[in-house]
Structure 1
Amino acid sequence: MYRSLIKPLLFHLDAEDAHHLTIDGLQLASRVPAWPALARRVTAPSAPALTQTLWGRTFSSPVGLAAGLDKNGVAVPAFSALGFGFLEVGTVTPLPQAGNDRPRLFRLPPDQALINRMGFNNGGAAALHAHLRALPHRTAPVWVNIGRNKVTPNEAATDDYLKCVTALQDVADAFVVNVSSPNTPGLRALQAADELAALVRAVVNGVEAGRVRTLNAPPVLVKLAPDLHPADFEASVDAVVNAGASGLIISNTTLDRAGLTHPHQTQTGGLSGRPLTTRSTELIRAAYRQTAGRTPIVGVGGIFTAQDAYDKIRAGASLTEVYSALVYEGPGLVRRLHTGLNALLERDGLRSVSEAVGADA
């Protein structure tokens, strides 16, 4: 029904208008008593082979929702109802901000891609805290993607990340340090090894210091861009690991436009979707080899099929995330990924998805 009816209607709307309409609908659905939990009984994977334990936490599925769809955490129950193993909300900044001027979100249907230059539009850390605090219970872990406000210079960026940690540590199941969005001026400069090490170390220390206050010490992951020079990527991975981060997310959107056919290819912003499939998998494999498999990796970028997700897992990703494919494929995508992943594991004689992690690295 999504492909034949809902998607054509949404695709007649401006991309951002369709996004807001969808989130508003999911927010309303999230308020229906008992519905999300009942729906999840159908959509969540029943196969124990897809279950893993990472950072002392159980994930019922290696398929998660990437940041950017639910920036303010208003539709967590509805997204959980789709069967995701975990959800990443945000990017959130300490203070609310409107983001960049519209239009700032573009579809490229023949390329199965999106371009966005949203600019961290969000309601701020206090609003996100209120939304997450109000959840009656969680059926999947909720990660919080944190960034700096646009008006904050890089010299003071650490303060913004720490403000997010302080405000949200009691409601976050993990923090994702976003230094790789191309849509906040100067942000990607924080990926340079020295700057990145100092920032990550400060966030890790901030989380540890907050353990006394919140009784919660969520893992800290760092999201890297796919556009770094190989030597710079290697240096950034080393910096993240040596600074004490718990994991890597590979990768964010790209500025590369190679192979695109749609006229929107000229739009500025970060490209996501099918064009990232191969590149992100290659980077996952490189990071897995570099870290000798000791640092969990979350693979994101161009996952449309179970084989796409499986390729990333076998390259070294313990978990995966989707965003653009959900726009093109609809809510049934999550269950199809679960079914397909389980079939691929059975085909290869593997009892658990953890046995597949890094098998091709």
Structure 2
Amino acid sequence: MTTIDYNAIAELSLSGELIDRTTAKSILSAPDLVLLEQLNAAYKVRHHYWSNRVRLHFLLNAQSGLCPEDCNYCSQSKISSAEIEKYPLIAQDRILAAADRAADLKAGTFCMAISGRSPSESVFGNVLEAFKAVKAKHDLKICACLGLLSEDQTQQLAAIGVDRVNHNLNTSENHHENICSTHTFRDRVNTLQNVQKAGITTCSGGILGMNETDDDIIDLAYSLRDLDVTSVPINFLIPIAGTPLSDINQLNPRRCLRILSLFRFILPKQEIRIAGGREVHLRSLQVMGLYPANSIFIGDYLTTTGQSASNDLAMIRDGGFVLENPDGSVLETEDNQVLKVKFKQSVTNNQ
């Protein structure tokens, strides 16, 4: 067995050099015996750019189901028979109530997603008005997840001050046709490039555990690096009953931690967020994911629930990490008093 010098990998990553494919594959296939070495090296890179700070994002599913796309992983797609809530765009007052909750939890970013291929003109207009209302009320960054977007649509989002647009690549270009046939990998890249042309920062990541190979995982990370995305959500597939991938179970906590470490080495300065599937696949090792990653969603996901906010805050506190304010400054005081107060408030809110 070839011995890997993980400190050397960390130094290579910090120097800005790209981890080669052979090394990347070795990271993904490494034995559990060296997992702590991997995490230590990944944390060295993470700490250089992010110290021990953790960013919180809050996600609202503002329009659910009724989607004409055939993404195999998604409970909202046209080929899914999953038992989920289906509803058109919710009213602005409900969107503002969700933003209130995000602010209460000290989330730096309010992420709003709608189902569908691309928003209709009327839905897009209502989304713009809702975003303007949130901006007027709260000092929150807004991340819009609206499907495929044209140059004109991204320009309109930029004009009202949307901070970020999410559009995940989801998987490698090679594996994409096995996951979705109603749009292409290139369609997704085009949306990200439209976002960048508009001067909005990009949020794009993937879903792991969808029968992809190690090469597919590496290709996804390389593509995100080539696109120079700002924020990278890493989702771990939740095999939802009623979807074509409902019987897939390829992940365990150690595999997830190796994937997160690889993404940190390839994307050293990016915000890396542990997104959907964190509770399902990392389980009791969730806090270890914060050694390579520096961000999580607090609250629920699109059609699945997350763990309680109080447990998230306890995890962050117990791991020795600190929260960020929306402006990127540290929320906590040295003795953790601010986080303890927020933790107690969250416990009360969840009872």
Q: TM-score range by the shorter chain?
A: 0.5 to 0.7
Q: Which residue of 1 aligns with 2:262?
A: 286
User: CA–CA distance in 1 between the matches of 2:213 and 2:289?
Assistant: 21
Q: Which residue of 1 aligns with 2:157?
A: 168
Conserved? CA contact 2:145–2:167, under 8 Å: yes
The count of residues paired between Structure 1 and Structure 2 equals 231
SS at match of 2:315: helix
Q: Which residue of 1 aligns with 2:84?
A: none
| Cα distance, 1:338–1:129 mapped onto 2, change above 3 Å | same
Q: Which residue of 1 aligns with 2:142?
A: 142
How far residue 299 of structure 1 moved from its aligned partner, in angstroms, is: 1.3
How far residue 298 of structure 1 moved from its aligned partner, in angstroms, is: 1.3
Q: Which residue of 2 aligns with 1:186?
A: 181
Conserved? CA contact 1:204–1:244, under 8 Å: no
User: CA–CA distance in 2 between the matches of 1:285 and 1:140?
Assistant: 29
Q: Which residue of 2 aligns with 1:19?
A: none
User: CA–CA distance in 2 between the matches of 1:70 and 1:127?
Assistant: 12
Q: Which residue of 1 aligns with 2:39?
A: none
> Which digits, 9 at most, give the CA deviation of each residue in 1:227-264, with x for residues without a partner?
2321112112212211222232112645xx4xxxxxxx
Q: Which residue of 2 aligns with 1:42?
A: none
> Which digits, 9 at most, give the CA deviation of each residue in 1:280-328, with x for residues without a partner?
444222212333x2333111133449965422211x2121125259965
Aligned pairs for 1:29-44 within 5 A:
none
RMSD: 4.4
Q: Which residue of 2 aligns with 1:232?
A: 216
User: CA–CA distance in 1 between the matches of 2:191 and 2:244?
Assistant: 27
Q: Which residue of 1 aligns with 2:81?
A: none
User: CA–CA distance in 1 between the matches of 2:320 and 2:165?
Assistant: 30
User: CA–CA distance in 2 between the matches of 1:252 and 1:125?
Assistant: 29
* Residue 206, structure 1, aligned to residue 194, structure 2: yes
Aligned pairs for 1:67-82 within 5 A:
68=61, 74=95, 75-82=98-105
Q: Which residue of 2 aligns with 1:242?
A: 226
Aligned pairs for 1:124-143 within 5 A:
124-135=123-134, 136-143=136-143
Greater relative CO, 1 or 2 (CA 8 Å, sep 6+): 2
* Residue 336, structure 1, aligned to residue 274, structure 2: no
Conserved? CA contact 1:299–1:320, under 8 Å: yes
Q: Which residue of 1 aligns with 2:288?
A: 311
Conserved? CA contact 1:223–1:250, under 8 Å: yes
| Cα distance, 1:237–1:325 mapped onto 2, change above 3 Å | closer
User: CA–CA distance in 1 between the matches of 2:217 and 2:206?
Assistant: 8
Conserved? CA contact 1:175–1:218, under 8 Å: yes
Conserved? CA contact 2:61–2:302, under 8 Å: no
User: CA–CA distance in 2 between the matches of 1:270 and 1:76?
Assistant: 32
User: CA–CA distance in 2 between the matches of 1:165 and 1:310?
Assistant: 35
Conserved? CA contact 1:178–1:223, under 8 Å: yes
How far residue 77 of structure 1 moved from its aligned partner, in angstroms, is: 2.2
State TM-score, norm by structure 2: 0.52
State TM-score, norm by structure 1: 0.51
Structure 1 portions without partners, runs of 5+: 1-51, 98-122, 149-159, 211-216, 258-264, 354-361
From 290, 299, 302, the counterpart of 2:274: 299
Give percent identity, aligned residues only: 9
User: CA–CA distance in 2 between the matches of 1:64 and 1:230?
Assistant: 28
Structure 2 portions without partners, runs of 5+: 1-46, 65-88, 323-329, 332-351
Q: Which residue of 1 aligns with 2:346?
A: none
| Cα distance, 1:94–1:84 mapped onto 2, change above 3 Å | same
